[in-house]
Structure 1
Amino acid sequence: MNLKSLYNRYLVAICFFIGYLILATITRTILAILSIDKLDLSFYTSFIIFGKGFLFDIAIGFAFITFYIFYLTILPSKWIGKKIDIVLTYLILFLLFFVILFSSFSEFPFWDEFNTRFNFIAVDYLIYTYEVVENINQSYPIPSIVLVLLCCILLIFYLLKKNEIFKQVFSSKPKLSNRLSILFVYLLFLISLFSVLENKSAEWSSNIYQNELSKNGVFSFFAAFRSNELDYDLFYTKLDEKLAYKIVKSDLIASDEKFSSDNYDDISRVVTGKINEVTPNIILICIESLSADFLSEFGNAENLTTNINQLANEGIFFQNMYATGTRTVRGMEALTLCVPPTPGNSIVRRQNNDNLFSIATILKQKGYQLDFIYGGDGYFDNMNTFFGGQGFNIIDRDRGNPLSDKIVTTRTAIPDNEVTFENAWGICDEDTYKQALKRADFEATSNHPFFQFIMTTSNHKPYTFPDNKVNLKQGSREAAVKYTDYALGQFIKQAKTKKWYSNTVFVIVADHCASSAGKWEINVDKHHIPAIIYNLNTKNEKVDKLVSQIDLMPTLFGYLNWNYTSSFFGKDISKMKTSEQRAFLGNYRTLGLLEGITFTEINDRKKVNQYEWNAKNKILEPKRIHNDSSKNKTISYYQIASERFKNGKMEVKLINQH
């Protein structure tokens, strides 16, 4: 075997591999520097971060050159160095260099927004190309970036040629048998490496930043792609099913409620309201990324939310509300289905999610007309399919994407002549609210109350909106928050001029916080959101009870004195004792329950961790002695919520059979 000839033929592949390892290490180093204040740095943690990361980098480096190795192996010797070999080599290498450079560059804006390596969100973004491409185009100077990447590739080619590396590659003609031996050893090593490496093996620390830095972005992307949904039964700690149902049912039932049947797996219960039941119009406004810490109530001194502050003072203000997740679809899931966040994707994005027991079930029983109003294209994140499947009429910015065949409700496209401003995610909030006013005017002429679920978009990167609305420069989160607040204030002002206003209740709540990353798998403080019920015929109130997003609508139904049968996991908090308060918090893989200062989390490694939540200092401190009651309650809620969706027990037809 002529080793020199083999070495020369594979020399570019070797250079590419070494170059990728250097680039990946530089990327990790820069990300670490950007997050230096979030890390518990020591020689040991640095060694683990870069050591584990290097293993993932090796695996991805080998994976990147697999196709090129195949090419070098199978190309007949007589073609080596010919024009076809030169052209194909340059083409393959150009694509490889572009992909690794672009993916490395992409990690920085992704880290800036989500503080993680590529994950489920990146997979979602690959699917919804229009919104993502437009968002990138509006947020970053794409032509300049592409030009820089091309210049880098040309520089690499120049250096390879100058050092006569290409000359050696095109002049070496090792035997096919020797090349096949190299391919065999290469594939054996590659398969072995990927068989032992798992993305979750990088999750060695309680500090999520350190875990994410230990990963490789490309490896994480494909790991997320493979595990888009998680089966609770396979990955999480379980209790006996009957015991789990018993714990959940005992926690759900209120003093003035009774279960609909004696079946152990039937959580439906008859909710008894008062005699004077009222059915006002209801407008639920779900505001994009509105963290509690943007409000002056929670210490913000930038005066960003003057209108929301006023609404909070004039309505029922929930000071201790927590979002169930970190994505818009999680907020939608919590507000409509009133269910804890099951592992993997939100139910909004899953298959077989139509005709579920939801707030729509109760609203339709009360005679409401239902509208989902969204400034973007509701095809994104499966919103239209989900809301249409619950009986909502769809009003959105139709960009030509199809509505599922299952949807039997109507879809109305927002026309171009009614749009004054639009960016990647949709029309500005003011334009969205104009659609809501228009729809409300139309539906107010009927003899039925109406319900609107409005989803805003302006408080999202690239943070752009109409000019001359607020006194902050566009492009920053703070400016977007101030515009979001301005648009909401204008909407309420215009609604007050309508005849239907006096009989309309407004529910204002965030879908999730502006960011969720921190030193723990779940950061309690990064789930704290504001929520307001406004224009309800009751006294102003500040509610300091611990509230979950899933409790908001059942609590409103309680204020309206409604009698109905509920299969919600959410409860009317006005009926809760202090000891019964709780909030569900989760991400894709880790699920948690906050009770007072006790925070219990379960993860897909069948582990249970407990902490004490120090709200003043916003830190979690590990509990030395676990609270078994909280542990069992946490497991039970998530186990039963997952089981009910998986086995179709959340479907209205099955619930009615009980």
Structure 2
Amino acid sequence: MSNIFKSRYSILIGFIFYFIIFSFVIRTILFVLSFPHADFSFLEIIRCYLFGFFFDFGTALIITSFYALYLLIFPDRLYHTKWNKVITFCAFFLFLLLTLFSFFAEITFWQEFESRFNFIAVDYLIYTYEVIHNINESYPLPYLISGMVIIALAISYTFNRLKIFKLSFESRTPLKNRLIYTVPLILTAILFSLVIKNSAAEQGNNRYANELSKAGIYSFFAAFKNNELNYHEFYKLINSKNAFNIVRNQLAQKGVSFKKGLTISREIKGTASTYRPNVIMITVESLSAEFLAHYGNTQKLTPYLDTIADKSVFFSYMYATGTRTVRGMEALTLSIPPTPGSSIVRRNDNENLFTVGNVFKEKGYTNTFFYGGDGYFDNMNHFFGNNGYNIVDRGRKLLDETYQGSRKLITDQDVTFENAWGICDEDIFNVVIKDADEKYNHQQLFNDFVMTTSNHRPFTFPTNKINLPPGSREAAVRYTDYAIGKFIEKIKTRPYFKNTVIIIVADHCASSAGKNEVDISKYQIPCMIFNLKNQPHMIISKMTSQIDLFPTLWHLLGWNYASEFYGQNVLDEHYQPRVFLGTYQKLAYLKGDSLMLLSPHRKVDTYLYDKSKNIQIPHQLSKKVMDEGIANYQTAFDLFKDGKLKLK
């Protein structure tokens, strides 16, 4: 077997060594980046590198398996030709560039999400326009590409100096030896890809250690393969009838009457108020609670939002349901717990669902979705356009796809600043006011879903607006606060302002990564309802979820309405605080200090959550709490998958 180093397989072996060495370097860089945020034990560090080597070696075998097959089937008389040398060298150099790019991408992805490649990376691969422009605006791309080419040339030169190419092209490797070398390699690669799950690296509760133990490329393809998970196949189940009974009991508040059957459909009785204000919901990109002074921040990043919070119905203890914009959109339109896999916004068969917009439509409102980028991204236009919302976005072109509502493009005349993700927040707010002016002139009530973009990497925005230069998260938060302040001051001059409620809520936090698999503190977001008539400042300090926002608002408005929502009026005396939080595979249910995590392979982990220390202590929870968590996620999955969230 030692002769393999002096055979035509020398390039393949050299590439495997290169891949493992560079993977070790990247793992070390990621370890250094995460070290200030994670409390690594010595054993966890050892595990990171041992498991990491195992995954790196398996990934290297998978990458080289096709080349191994090539080496097996090519006879010597063809292998020693000039054209084979050219093809081999070009393929070698191309794979060097691809793997180097993946290593660079892992670092940038970790800086944003503190994770190996996951579903987000898979999603981003689809939207190359936004992603490439974002990378180009965030990093000196020409220098980075040049650097990768130089590194690839240096590696090629090293291979040449070590006579690896010479050994490969001048060797004579009999078919018998080629079979001995290739067959075990390919079989091992196949066995590794079929048997070794990416989750095998998750051996403890330290999320950073788990992620560092993985290999980026292998994680990417694992995420690609598992983009949607069937709850019934992978998660803990209870009897379906019991599950619906549990959820209905949780939703049984004052004035609620349920329909019969396995459903949560119900009629909700309010005071039959005729108060119908316009509603503008500003969904702020990545606005973690920790940015506001109300939560202890001393950087004065959000002076306007902190002022508005003191004049609003302020949800001081609200949690996002997920870690991506589309998950926040799902919660704020469908009022549903997160289901495993991608957000419903990105799923197939997500048209004609019962949404928040349907309640407003029944009251005579026009629903509009505003986005400063191209709403094609993340399937947003398809979802909103086929669920009763008109669309106003900065699309590059009008697509052939038709929507139930209209689509209007934001013109160049409305834009003063734009980056990869869309126009700046000031510009989108001006578009919203322009649209509101038109609707008011036509005596049309409106419900607006406004999605901001400025608080997103590359964190660029118009200059000379705030006292911080563009390019950092803190500056972007400060600018977004500034833009919201300008918007409210401007809309206050409009005649319809006295009958317009403004909601400010985050889609998710700036970062979801932490020591724990689902770090509860990284899901807390601010939410406030401003300018509600006859409603003095009120702090809602109960633990609440994004899905509870509109049911609580409609209670404050006194509306009667039909509901298919999991969200509740949190002001009801029977409300029991609980929240739903999820990643793509992990589903969390937090009730009081009782925390349950549902994972694939029907795994259930239970803890006591100490909010003051942000620690999760393993603890056996009561069957009642565990069944509640399972029931909510199981029924939410069933209702969507069975088409029971569709409009009747």
TM-score, reference length from structure 1: 0.96
Counterparts of 1:42 and 1:568, CA distance in 2: 44
The amino acid of 1:110's aligned partner reads F
Counterparts of 1:510 and 1:26, CA distance in 2: 36
Say whether the 8 Å CA contact 2:290–2:297 is kept in structure 1.
yes
Counterparts of 1:39 and 1:536, CA distance in 2: 43
**Any residues of structure 2 matched to 1:53-132 within 5 Å, and which?**
53-132=52-131
Which one of 618, 624, 633 corresponds to residue 629 of structure 1?
624
Alignment partner, residue 565 of structure 1: 562
Alignment partner, residue 649 of structure 1: 644
Alignment partner, residue 383 of structure 2: 386
The amino acid of 1:487's aligned partner reads A
Which one of 475, 482, 500 corresponds to residue 496 of structure 2?
500
Q: CA distance change for structure 1 residues 42 and 526 in 2, over 3 Å: closer, same or farther?
A: closer
Shift of 1:176: 3.9
Shift of 1:177: 4.8
Which one of 632, 635, 639 corresponds to residue 640 of structure 1?
635
Query: Bigger CA drift: 339-348 or 32-41?
Result: 32-41
Q: CA distance change for structure 1 residues 6 and 514 in 2, over 3 Å: closer, same or farther?
A: closer
- CA deviations over 1:471-503 (Å, ceiling 9, x no partner): 011100000000000000000011011111111
Shift of 1:518: 0.7
**Any residues of structure 2 matched to 1:144-159 within 5 Å, and which?**
144-159=143-158
Shift of 1:604: 1.4
- CA deviations over 1:60-110 (Å, ceiling 9, x no partner): 111222232233233332233332022111101001111111111111111
Counterparts of 2:290 and 2:644, CA distance in 1: 38
Counterparts of 2:217 and 2:457, CA distance in 1: 23
Shift of 1:618: 2.1
Counterparts of 1:193 and 1:267, CA distance in 2: 44
- CA deviations over 1:337-386 (Å, ceiling 9, x no partner): 00001111000000111111111111111110111000000000100000
Counterparts of 1:249 and 1:347, CA distance in 2: 22
**Any residues of structure 2 matched to 1:181-580 within 5 Å, and which?**
181-259=180-258, 261-263=259-261, 265-400=262-397, 402=399, 404-405=401-402, 407-537=403-533, 538-577=535-574, 580=576
Say whether the 8 Å CA contact 1:384–1:403 is kept in structure 2.
no
Counterparts of 2:323 and 2:369, CA distance in 1: 21
Secondary structure of the corresponding residue to residue 526 of structure 2: strand
Which one of 574, 588, 592 corresponds to residue 592 of structure 1?
588
Query: Bigger CA drift: 336-345 or 443-452?
Result: 443-452
Count the aligned residue pairs: 647
Shift of 1:613: 2.0
Alignment partner, residue 601 of structure 1: 597
Say whether the 8 Å CA contact 2:6–2:167 is kept in structure 1.
no
Counterparts of 2:163 and 2:380, CA distance in 1: 55
Say whether the 8 Å CA contact 1:395–1:413 is kept in structure 2.
yes
Shift of 1:180: 4.0
Shift of 1:577: 3.5
Q: CA distance change for structure 1 residues 576 and 529 in 2, over 3 Å: closer, same or farther?
A: farther
Q: CA distance change for structure 1 residues 378 and 242 in 2, over 3 Å: closer, same or farther?
A: same
Counterparts of 1:376 and 1:527, CA distance in 2: 25
Shift of 1:32: 1.4
Q: CA distance change for structure 1 residues 400 and 183 in 2, over 3 Å: closer, same or farther?
A: farther
Secondary structure of the corresponding residue to residue 218 of structure 2: helix
Counterparts of 1:535 and 1:167, CA distance in 2: 76
Query: Bigger CA drift: 190-199 or 642-651?
Result: 190-199
Q: CA distance change for structure 1 residues 41 and 649 in 2, over 3 Å: closer, same or farther?
A: same
Secondary structure of the corresponding residue to residue 447 of structure 2: strand
The amino acid of 1:286's aligned partner reads T
Counterparts of 2:90 and 2:11, CA distance in 1: 13
Q: CA distance change for structure 1 residues 232 and 152 in 2, over 3 Å: closer, same or farther?
A: same
Identity rate, percent: 46
Say whether the 8 Å CA contact 1:80–1:173 is kept in structure 2.
no
Which one of 611, 615, 627 corresponds to residue 615 of structure 1?
611
Alignment partner, residue 656 of structure 1: none
Counterparts of 1:489 and 1:465, CA distance in 2: 15
Query: Bigger CA drift: 62-71 or 248-257?
Result: 62-71
Structure 2: gaps spanning 5 or more residues: none
Structure 1: gaps spanning 5 or more residues: 654-658
RMSD of equivalent CA atoms: 1.5
Counterparts of 1:619 and 1:5, CA distance in 2: 51
Secondary structure of the corresponding residue to residue 643 of structure 1: helix
Say whether the 8 Å CA contact 2:385–2:391 is kept in structure 1.
yes
The amino acid of 2:260's aligned partner reads D
Counterparts of 2:59 and 2:76, CA distance in 1: 29
Secondary structure of the corresponding residue to residue 517 of structure 1: coil
Say whether the 8 Å CA contact 2:4–2:10 is kept in structure 1.
no
Secondary structure of the corresponding residue to residue 499 of structure 1: coil
Shift of 1:8: 2.2
Say whether the 8 Å CA contact 1:379–1:403 is kept in structure 2.
no
Secondary structure of the corresponding residue to residue 573 of structure 1: coil
TM-score, reference length from structure 2: 0.97
Say whether the 8 Å CA contact 1:284–1:508 is kept in structure 2.
yes
The amino acid of 2:374's aligned partner reads D
Query: Bigger CA drift: 439-448 or 605-614?
Result: 605-614
